[in-house]
Amino acid sequence: MVKKVSLKDIAQRVGVSTALVSYVLSGNEEKGRVGKATAEKIRQAAEALNYQPNHIAKSLKTGKTNTIGLIVADISNPFFASIARGVEDEASRFGLTTIIGSSDESAEKLKKLVDVFVKRQVDGFIISPAEHSEETVSYILSLGIPICLIDRHFNSVKSSYVVTDNLESMRNAVTHLVQQGYKHIAYISYESNLRHMRDREAGFKEASREIKSEIFKIHYAKQHIELGDTIGEILAQDRVDAIVFATNTLSVAGLKYLRQHNVRIPKDMNVSCFDSSEVYDFFEHPITHVRQPIDQLAKASVNTVVELIKNPGQQVENRVLHSELVSGGQDADRAVPNR
């Protein structure tokens, strides 16, 4: 069995006290008044001896594990996968390890994951909450564990959050279609009480009210696998000349259906999508979409949690970030249908 390298081993190699070694390896050389040259020798010796710090002992002493729990709604969704990568990268800048879980949009699974992470004694949480999970978020707050909600939040729970301006983003996307001459726009969404989905629908409605005489219709798809039936119904309505998809999963599935049914975008019908996707690159004509500031969302959520860890009594911080509308342009050949 290989003997574990101790602070004493490093001290003997350099010829200093174990206290001095402890100051340097814990990042407190200034507090211990350790000279730069000596500190560098200690770090080099630790590396040469392959010293591995005892994180369990350290966490027992400090009450911190230097870990944060990230729970996203669906890790298979490219949006949340990008969020996870951004959070992990930003957290590492603060010396924090990220433990990642996926709730699969289930409040029950979210609660179980929270219980597991609490037992792992994470120092904070970043959560994209599932519908009906207000009680779980409140439970975390009652434990005094720092938490920042990302992408979604609850009005009934006073917690820090970082979100996109969903209402304004959707309103801008629909207004853009209207300004291009589209008048009969269908909106496809999941039926959900989550705040970000309600805000997107509200943005669609606000934009639609600007043209009172035209038809704007909302369609709900319980699962994206049922989307084909919904789009089929829309295509059967001659008056519809554009479709707005409320999420990237609906967008990708919807675009696939339209291509399979030889619907030319934007010549036959135009679309506008919420969120970016690599799938859009496979279309000859650029797809108009809302690009959320994923990097900013991830960084802001980590920074919020770090601040709450450092200052437990700090007030909640709510941030709403602006998105970007990426225009697909308008083909010169395309004439807006006179329907």
Strand-pair partners of 185: 216, 242
Element (H, E) at 291: strand 288-291
Output the CA–CA distances (angstroms, integers) from residue 320 to 29, 73, 146, 313, in the order listed: 40, 19, 19, 22
Q: How far apart are CA 175 and CA 204, in angstroms?
A: 9
Query: Taking the CB of residue 5, how many other CB atoms lie within 10 A of it?
Result: 17
DSSP per-residue string spanning 55-122: HHHHHHHHS--SEEEEEES-TTSHHHHHHHHHHHHHHHHTT-EEEEEE-TT-HHHHHHHHHHHHHTT-
56-62 — which CB contacts under 8 Å span 24+ positions?
A: 59/121
pLDDT, residue 58, reads 55
Output the CA–CA distances (angstroms, integers) from residue 257 to 11, 30, 229, 263, 313, in the order listed: 67, 63, 10, 9, 51
Pairing of strands 324-326, 288-291: antiparallel
pLDDT, residue 213, reads 42
Q: How far apart are CA 36 and CA 138, in angstroms?
A: 47
**Tens-of-pLDDT digits for all 339 residues of the chain?**
456 778 888 889 889 888 888 888 777 777 667 888 888 888 898 888 888 776 545 554 555 788 999 999 999 999 999 999 999 999 999 989 999 999 999 999 999 999 999 998 999 999 999 999 999 999 999 999 999 999 999 999 999 999 999 999 999 999 999 888 888 888 998 888 899 999 999 999 988 887 654 556 777 765 555 678 888 888 887 688 899 999 988 998 899 899 999 999 998 999 999 998 888 887 878 899 999 999 999 999 999 999 999 888 788 889 999 999 998 755 434 434 433
pLDDT, residue 72, reads 97
- Give the dihedral of Cα atoms 220, 226, 229, 235; nearest 10 deg: 60
pLDDT, residue 138, reads 96
The answer to whether 187 and 240 have CB atoms below 8 angstroms apart is no
pLDDT, residue 339, reads 35
Q: How far apart are CA 25 and CA 38, in angstroms?
A: 12
Output the CA–CA distances (angstroms, integers) from residue 192 to 73, 166, 189, 216, 255, in the order listed: 14, 14, 8, 19, 22
The answer to whether 126 and 101 have CB atoms below 8 angstroms apart is no
- 244 phi and psi angles, rounded to 5 deg: -110, 125
pLDDT, residue 332, reads 36
The answer to whether 152 and 194 have CB atoms below 8 angstroms apart is yes
**Structure-token pair, residue 119:** 């037992």
Q: How far apart are CA 135 and CA 133, in angstroms?
A: 5
